[in-house]
């Protein structure tokens, strides 16, 4: 397990994506580095009022804490209260043209460290005692170590003494006006990135994405999905990290061809209006359900960096429904549905 | 305790407020009645695109459930899982003119019913048995009743056998461009409504309002406060209900004079822009923190009625700060602060 290597990969990924998006937009991103009092920091890259992007945020963060808050530990209750490190690249792009979908990508690595007094620390006790020059101390330490090993050699206790780490991430697409070929391309790119690791991953991560990016109070998916994985460590560190890189490296391939295809489509103010209305769903999802957002706000994260995902202009209106047969109705009937895009 | 009387008061309050707002705006509200599959329903009154109100929602709801969800039971853990009834009037008014503040008012009544098998139900057992015509059954029932009474005669068990009810509510004001006289008027009206019940209530409910309507992730109050109370039953049903009516009846007095004073103030698009930006805080509060919103979404409430509070047009921008000395900066320095407006 090598946190530094992950950190360098993520920083490079952020730079690569920002540079590619600047080429597309013609305007440059603001680079805003920040530190966190509790430890760590990050760099938020922002483009607002661009030619293509009305608001685009690509953030890198590396935050540390002494006591893991509950929101992060649903799958690992034994990690609650531990000191932790979280590294990630997270982006949300809100294009101006309503024919270009909004996209989200996130790649993260998480470590909850073995608590002090665990196997690793105990292992060094005899040496420390020997350095003290007293044989008895060394013997006592040996006994303590043995007793501790016995205790930790069964189940939860043993598990509690190890570092807990996992990768997580994914990407998902949120169109306002859908195009089947865009959905197919996005999903196909995701599948191609994952298949070398196991043909089981794409269907599994696709399903997890559909389940995660779902607005229960609307009974509506956020968009047309993509892939989502979390608590991923089953391939061991090296190969799990490779899978994460495969996902991160495929982002530009998954999104840019769609953006290029749609960015010069003419649109009316009515299409913009529907886009602003639909962006309300994005806000609702991120503030009510999104684990990353809630974790960030709970862990005293940097609010402006967490809320980079918010769209630039949003509208709410009461109980609005699209006209039957309209392009807006088609979004609901043909795209915001449970569908295998590669069937 | 008389749920019907509360219900009639709340329905009348909704009508009275809607009529007064229609007079001010010149346009009429949509009246949308709805039913809830799990029991109950409500009427949502909406005005969108009005002359004065860009979006105004005044909702009445009476919802029932078999199993109280956790969000409502923080102060009454013993009520979790019980069947319940919640009645309320809730309103949020988003005026178009940025010199008129946004306002929120909510008045609610909550009952968590004594569970089946409690004192009340057990009391009727001998009669039911006698109707069966068998003396033995009646005697058995008497024993069961006695045993149950013994069990419930101590602490938590006894408490668990009673209906649990409380009133809650309050109102708070969220200006975009602040005026001290408006803040003083709003708070003075609140104090005048509460003082006949106890001079301790206004300062207590004012403090609770400041604590509740606070965006922790921004370290920023939502607005200039007002009053907020919850789990209120300490005066007994009749007098607690009187207090609730005093608050509900004072709403129009608290808000309309402010609205009349500001509604013809000319404004520029830049002021509208700041209003849209600040409305983002309203969205953040309601979706991340508001108990009523979370309870509604958790209890499978009617989404469109719950989210009537969302502003019509909202903007987010990265790490924006007002120019020093500007009218926008004054909102932060002179109004979004911990202040006794009646000092």
| Residue B74: CB atoms within 10 Å | 11
pLDDT category of residue B118 using cuts at 50, 70 and 90: low
Per residue in B309-320, pLDDT (tens digit) is 999 999 999 999
Average pLDDT over chain B, rounded to whole? 88
Cβ of residue B284 closer than 8 Å to a chain A Cβ: yes
Strand order in the sheet with A225-232: A30-35, A40-48, A53-65, A84-95, A102-112, A164-174, A225-232
Residue of B48, B287, B318 with shortest CB distance to A317:
B48
pLDDT band at B159 (very low <50, low <70, confident <90, very high): low
Asked whether the beta carbons of residue A57 and residue B288 sit closer than 8 angstroms, the reply is no
Contact A56, A29 (CB under 8 A): yes
CB contact under 8 Å between A284 and B276, yes or no, is no
DSSP state string for A203-229 = HHHHHHHHHHSEETTTTEESSSEEEEE
Give φ, ψ of B60 to 5 degrees: -115, 135
Among B302, B316, B317, the residue to mutate for chain A (most A Cβ within 10 A): B316
Structure tokens at B340: 């006794």
Q: What is the pLDDT of residue A169?
A: 96
A104 is catalytic: yes
Scanning A177-330, the segments in alpha helix (DSSP H) are 180-194, 201-212, 236-262, 269-288, 291-298, 303-306, 327-330
Asked if residue B154 has pLDDT above 50, the reply is: no
Residue of B8, B62, B94, B104 marked active site: B104
Q: Which residues pair with A169 in a beta bridge?
A: A107, A229
Ramachandran region of residue A225, left (φ > 0), alpha (ψ -120 to 50) or beta? left
Joined together, the tokens standing for residue B132 give: 């069966």
Which band of pLDDT confidence, cut at 50, 70 and 90, is reported for residue A124? very low
By the 8 A CB rule, do A167 and A109 touch?
A: yes
Structure confidence at residue B71 (pLDDT): 62
pLDDT(A195) > 90: yes
Of B294, B304, B319, the CB nearest to A304: B319
**Would you call A13 an interface residue with chain B, using a CB distance cutoff of 8 Å?**
no
With pLDDT > 90 as the criterion, what percentage of chain B qualifies? 73
| B46 part of contact set with chain A, CB < 8 Å | yes
CB contact under 8 A, B218 and A303: yes
Min distance A49 CA to chain B CA atoms (Å): 10
A288 closest CB neighbour out of B276, B287, B317 = B287
Render pLDDT for A291-324 as a digit per residue (tens, 0 to 9).
Answer: 888 878 877 789 999 999 999 999 999 999 999 9
Statement: residue A121 has pLDDT above 60: no
The yes-or-no verdict on residue B247 having pLDDT over 80 is: yes
Alpha-helical runs (H) found in A42-134: 119-123, 125-131
pLDDT of B141 strictly over 60 = no
Question: In this predicted structure, what is the pLDDT of residue A230?
Answer: 94
List of chain B residues whose C-beta atoms are within 8 Å of the C-beta of residue A50: none
Report chain A's terminal Cα–Cα distance, integer Å. Answer: 38
Take residue A135 and report the two structure tokens written for it.
């044989």
At B80, the pLDDT band (50, 70, 90 cuts) reads confident
Q: Is pLDDT of B94 > 90? A: yes
Does any CB of chain B come closer than 8 Å to the CB of residue A304? yes
pLDDT of A146 higher than 70:
no
Whether B70 contacts chain A with CB within 8 A: no
Closest chain A CA to residue B48: A317
- In chain A, which residue's Cα lies nearest the Cα of B311? A316
State the Rg of chain B over Cα.
23
Interface check for B321 against chain A (CB to CB < 8 A): the answer is no
A104, A185, A187, A217: the active-site residue: A104
Whole-number pLDDT of residue B221 = 98
Q: For residues A125 and A138, what is the distance between their CA atoms, to the nearest angstrom?
A: 8
Higher-confidence position of B147 and B18: B18
Residue-wise pLDDT tens digits, B205-223? 999 999 999 999 999 999 9
- What confidence score (pLDDT) does residue B301 get? 82
Interface membership of A24 toward B (CB under 8 Å): no
Task: Please answer yes or no on whether A311 and B312 come within 8 Å at the CB atom.
Answer: no
DSSP state of A78: G
The CA-based dihedral angle spanning residues B1, B4, B6, B12, taken in that order and rounded to the nearest 10 degrees = -160
Mean pLDDT along residues B166-188 = 98
Model confidence over B17-74: pLDDT tens digits? 999 999 999 999 999 999 988 789 999 999 999 999 999 999 999 988 888 866 666 6
What integer best gives the mean pLDDT of chain A?
Answer: 88
CB contact under 8 A, A317 and B314: no
| B34: chain A residues, CB-CB within 8 Å | none
Q: How far apart are CA A188 and CA B44, in angstroms?
A: 45
pLDDT for residue B277 is more than 90: yes
The answer to whether A209 touches A172, Cβ cutoff 8 Å, is: yes
- Residue B78 is predicted with a pLDDT of 81
pLDDT tens, position by position, A35-88:
988 789 999 999 999 999 999 999 999 988 888 866 666 677 888 888 889 999
């Amino acid at each position: 397990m090598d946190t530094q290597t992950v950190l360098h990969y993520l920083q490079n990924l952020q730079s690569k994506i920002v540079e590619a998006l600047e080429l597309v937009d013609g305007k440059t991103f603001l680079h805003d580095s920040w530190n966190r009092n509790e430890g760590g920091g990050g760099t938020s890259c922002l483009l607002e009022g661009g030619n293509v992007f009305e608001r685009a945020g690509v953030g890198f963060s590396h935050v540390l804490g002494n006591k893991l808050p509950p929101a992060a530990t649903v799958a690992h209750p034994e990690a609650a209260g531990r000191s932790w490190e979280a590294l990630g690249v997270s982006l949300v792009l809100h294009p101006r043209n309503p024919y270009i979908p909004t996209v989200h990508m996130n790649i993260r690595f998480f470590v909850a460290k073995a608590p002090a007094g665990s196997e690793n620390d105990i292992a060094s006790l005899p040496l420390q005692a020997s350095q003290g020059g007293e044989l008895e101390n060394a013997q006592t330490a040996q006994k303590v170590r043995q007793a501790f090993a016995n205790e930790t050699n069964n189940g939860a206790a043993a598990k509690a003494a190890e570092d807990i780490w996992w990768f997580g991430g994914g990407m998902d697409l949120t169109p306002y006006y859908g195009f089947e070929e865009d959905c197919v391309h996005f999903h196909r790119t995701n599948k191609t990135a994952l298949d070398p690791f196991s043909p089981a991953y794409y269907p599994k991560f696709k399903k997890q994405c559909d389940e995660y990016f779902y607005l229960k109070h609307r009974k509506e998916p956020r968009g047309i999905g993509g892939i989502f994985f979390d608590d991923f460590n089953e391939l061991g560190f090296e190969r799990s990290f490779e899978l994460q890189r495969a996902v991160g490296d495929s982002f530009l391939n998954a999104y840019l061809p769609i953006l290029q295809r749609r960015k010069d489509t003419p649109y009316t103010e009515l299409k913009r209006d529907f886009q602003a209305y639909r962006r309300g769903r994005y806000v609702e999802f991120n503030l009510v359900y999104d684990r990353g957002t809630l974790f960030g706000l709970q862990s005293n994260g940097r609010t402006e960096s967490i809320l980079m995902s918010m769209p630039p202009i949003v509208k709410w209106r009461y109980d609005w429904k699209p006209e039957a047969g309209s392009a807006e109705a088609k979004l609901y009937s043909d795209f915001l549905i449970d569908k295998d895009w590669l069937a």
